[in-house]
Structure 1
Amino acid sequence: MDTRPLAALVSSLVSQALLLVLLLTQSNPDLLLVFTSLPRTGPLLPHLLSTTHLAAASSSLLSRCRKRSRDAEEEEEVESPLLLEDSTPFVALDPHPNPDHFKLLFGMRSSTFEWLAGLLDPLMDSRDPTDSPFRLPTTTRLALALARLATGACYADLAARFSVSESAARFCARHLSRVLCTNFRFWLAFPSSPDHLRAVSTGFASLAGLPGCCGALGSTRFHLRHGPAAAFLVADASSKILTMAAFFRGDRREIGVLKSSSLYREAEKGRLLGPEQYLIGDESHHLCPWLMVPFATPVPGSCQEDFNAAVRAMCWPARRALASLQKWRVLSRLREEEATKVAMAFIGTCAILHNVLLMREDDSALQESGEEWLLNSDKCREEEEEETAEKKAIFLRSSLAVKARAMRKAVGKVSAH
């Protein structure tokens, strides 16, 4: 007996029944409570819970079990609830004018969001907010957290947008920070492999022609509820953050912040860099055998000016990284976090996400250029350097200045031809 006609009839009846449920719940929201209170028997009867544009966007893209039943033109013209097989449906709202509005809402492209959700799925799904009425899927948890980081939206607004409690919104944001800073902190570890250091040095040589540079140093301040926090980072030529450190006290000078770090201690002991390798910094730092800084009072027309120009070019990636971090709006609203450790963790989280974007070749939250960087004359600092800097540091900077002059002349000859 051919059962295909009977199967087709049953499928048609089920489809019509589900369509009737959707129409009834849209016309009378009170009926939604009736359907959502029924026992769950499988993926054929998902809950119809309303949410906001953010959750609709993430779930509509990332539900792995969703099958498109309409072509692209129909999807743009028709609005309807989306039934997801993970039993967490969302109501689709008007399409955003920007076709890839994930950049505005989550600070990344939709493809990066999808990749990150897949990477973090087992870790993000390990715990639930204590007062959550239903199990939140990984995509919703990630969307909540990224919306906080990218837009700086307060927890009350996030709770209203996603139809969750304020404590659940706070939990999701902090949980993402905990997962990234605990399990992926190696993404902010300074390279220890000689081959990796040589690759970093090659990148800087392409910027300014000077060999041996293994990172550009940049400093900034963040404003927390209980006072400022000082931070510095080291970036490579592509503006990837090689390492970053933040300190609770932000009233120290840049050199004092650096000296408090493990990076400084390792570099002073010769464990960080190889011979003839160094970091580059601006005029706020002091000359060391492993840290080259610009001449404070360069002789006009000398190779010292050429060296300062090279330093300006090599410091640009660190400036760009710092400017890109500021595009994560939560960093300008850290005062809202009562716990200082949570605010500091958000700084590290944004640094990790910055590197994720570079790894994914995603320019969503990247600054086009670093902020303007000018050298300030500081004769007192120059005199202090001559008295305190090691002869090795002075000799290395002088030899690099000669190489900078030779490089400038070589570039001039090529341009003339």
Structure 2
Amino acid sequence: MGPIRNNKKRKVEKKADENNNNNSAVVSGSSSEDFAELWDVFSMTLAGVSSSLRASDEFGSGFRMSRTCFDYISELVKDHMMAKTHFAFSNGKLMSLNDQVALALTRLGSGNSLISIGGSFGAHHSTVSQITWRFIEAVEEHGLRHLQWPHSTSEIKRRFEAAAGLPNCCGAIDTTHITMLLTSSDQESETWLDRKQSHSMILQAVVGPDMRFLNVVAGWPGKMDDASVLRSSDFFKQCQNGKKLNGPKIRLSEGAEEEEELGEYLVGDSGFPLLPWLMTPFRGDGLSEGEAAFNGRVVETHAVAKRALSRLKRVWRMIQGEMWRPDKHKLPRFILACCILHNILIEIDGGDGFDDEEEPEHDPGYKHLVCDAFDKAALVLRDKLCMHFSR
């Protein structure tokens, strides 16, 4: 994760989503037994569909997850969320665990304001805020095992090589901007002003072949370029020191005059530096046939990171659009929780319901920057890898 300075209280959002008010579904309290009856109500609230449409399979279309996945998440956060203050709806009825999880998922999944969601659920906006933050804490505390560097990378490398032919590749790295709507009165507004003249925070992610996040870094201002965010991360230091991407090297060819070994590495686009553990495409005109072929493999492999970030924003819409005056010190933890939930959905539901959908651009409007930094040893390794494909 990136820099988290402190945990200031989140300011109440005053900007409501008027469109959602037309399709609100007020919930008056539910127990574990009757939550199944409210399943579609929560789903329709998130999807923006009239609550009169009731069907048991509609939950997946709203929350983008199965009931099995919802139950798993509820069990994951149960101890943390039920150990402290009990929450109630505006009518005084206590909220069950399922009610609280559904409310928090709606907040993260819809991106609507606290007031709008509170109106839909029949709860005060401060209750929405408190429940969502407690849910974030619970997911972070109990779900982090779903987002960690793998103990073995053999299966990841096998799948990447099968997909695009790159041997010993352990992941694809990319970044995206999480945009914010800050006012001129915000003393830190200039700090977060990026090159598109928007306020944003950077998310850097390393992605596996199944679109699961293997490592994420969040918290740096959107004005930073990809290379600067990478170099500022603990992940960079661990790779440089051989604590990550330190698995077995492979021989690129048998019987070569010079020993041609290739260690584990990631692939990135031209916004990242070329390093022994980070392969980027060849640049310039007049590329050889082998260089063009290598670039094609890199681009195809790197696309998994773009799809993952696009899906992350599409499912967890709170981090997709401009957030109204978010607490910038808590925001990295919101982003981390969404990334963990992203992985849980893939692990339990296998990405059902997404494969047939075209992923939109995850960072529209941001001009691609090029990094000229390179490591001389990485130049040699990339040339050898290119020659390997030429053979």
TM-score by length of 1: 0.68
Write the mapping of 1:169-184 to structure 2, written as runs, cut at 5 A: 169-184=128-143
Alignment of 1:389 with 2:375, yes or no, is yes
Change (3 A) 1:334 1:170: farther
Change (3 A) 1:54 1:348: farther
Change (3 A) 1:319 1:214: same
Quote the offset at 1:128 in angstroms. 2.5
The residue that corresponds to 2:309 in the other structure is 322
CA distance in 1 between counterparts of 2:344 and 2:51 reads 29
Counterpart residue identity of residue 180, structure 1: V
Change (3 A) 1:286 1:100: same
Alignment of 1:343 with 2:343, yes or no, is no
**Contact residue 217 and residue 235 of structure 1 kept, 8 A:** yes
The residue that corresponds to 2:342 in the other structure is 354
Quote the offset at 1:212 in angstroms. 0.9
CA distance in 2 between counterparts of 1:404 and 1:139 reads 53
The residue that corresponds to 2:295 in the other structure is 308
Match of 2:216, SS state, is: strand
Counterpart residue identity of residue 396, structure 1: L
2:226 pairs with 246, 251, 254, which one?
254
**Contact residue 270 and residue 281 of structure 2 kept, 8 A:** yes
Greater fraction of residues in helix: 1
**Contact residue 273 and residue 280 of structure 2 kept, 8 A:** yes
Identify which of structures 1 and 2 has the higher relative contact order when contacts are C-alpha pairs closer than 8 Å and 6+ apart: 2
Change (3 A) 1:362 1:277: closer
Change (3 A) 1:65 1:381: closer
Alignment of 1:155 with 2:105, yes or no, is no
1:94 pairs with 52, 77, 97, which one?
52
Change (3 A) 1:397 1:351: same
Write the mapping of 1:213-232 to structure 2, written as runs, cut at 5 A: 213-224=169-180, 225=182, 226=189, 227-232=199-204
Quote the offset at 1:364 in angstroms. 5.9
Alignment of 1:363 with 2:351, yes or no, is yes
The residue that corresponds to 1:34 in the other structure is none
Unaligned runs of 5+ residues in structure 2 are: 1-23, 42-49, 183-188, 190-198, 250-262, 363-368
CA distance in 1 between counterparts of 2:61 and 2:311 reads 14
2:267 pairs with 277, 280, 293, which one?
280
CA RMSD of aligned residues (A): 3.1
The residue that corresponds to 1:190 in the other structure is 149
When structure 1 is superposed on structure 2, of 266-275 and 331-340 the one drifting more is: 331-340
Change (3 A) 1:342 1:218: same
CA distance in 2 between counterparts of 1:65 and 1:167 reads 27
Match of 1:310, SS state, is: helix
Quote the offset at 1:335 in angstroms. 2.5
**Contact residue 241 and residue 351 of structure 1 kept, 8 A:** yes
Match of 1:247, SS state, is: strand
CA distance in 2 between counterparts of 1:130 and 1:99 reads 27
CA distance in 2 between counterparts of 1:230 and 1:99 reads 38
**Contact residue 210 and residue 404 of structure 1 kept, 8 A:** no
CA distance in 2 between counterparts of 1:182 and 1:268 reads 28
The residue that corresponds to 1:141 in the other structure is 100
**Contact residue 32 and residue 98 of structure 2 kept, 8 A:** no
Residues 306-362 of structure 1: CA deviation (Å, up to 9, x unaligned): 100000111011011110011111113452254112322221111111101110125
1:245 pairs with 201, 208, 217, which one?
217
Change (3 A) 1:301 1:141: same
CA distance in 2 between counterparts of 1:103 and 1:338 reads 28
- Structure 1 segments of 4+ aligned residues over 6 angstroms from their partners: none
The residue that corresponds to 2:257 in the other structure is none
**Contact residue 272 and residue 370 of structure 2 kept, 8 A:** no
Change (3 A) 1:138 1:381: closer
**Contact residue 180 and residue 352 of structure 1 kept, 8 A:** yes
CA distance in 2 between counterparts of 1:160 and 1:54 reads 7
Residues 149-186 of structure 1: CA deviation (Å, up to 9, x unaligned): 11112111221222121111111111111111122223
The residue that corresponds to 1:32 in the other structure is none
CA distance in 1 between counterparts of 2:128 and 2:33 reads 25
Larger radius of gyration: 1
**Contact residue 227 and residue 271 of structure 2 kept, 8 A:** yes
Change (3 A) 1:363 1:53: farther
Quote the offset at 1:372 in angstroms. 6.9
CA distance in 2 between counterparts of 1:342 and 1:182 reads 15
Counterpart residue identity of residue 387, structure 2: V
CA distance in 1 between counterparts of 2:171 and 2:203 reads 16
CA distance in 2 between counterparts of 1:123 and 1:352 reads 16
CA distance in 2 between counterparts of 1:218 and 1:67 reads 39
**Contact residue 110 and residue 318 of structure 2 kept, 8 A:** yes
When structure 1 is superposed on structure 2, of 301-310 and 340-349 the one drifting more is: 340-349
Residues 104-145 of structure 1: CA deviation (Å, up to 9, x unaligned): 432322332122223322222122267864432110000110
**Contact residue 160 and residue 167 of structure 2 kept, 8 A:** yes
Alignment of 1:105 with 2:93, yes or no, is no
TM-score by length of 2: 0.73
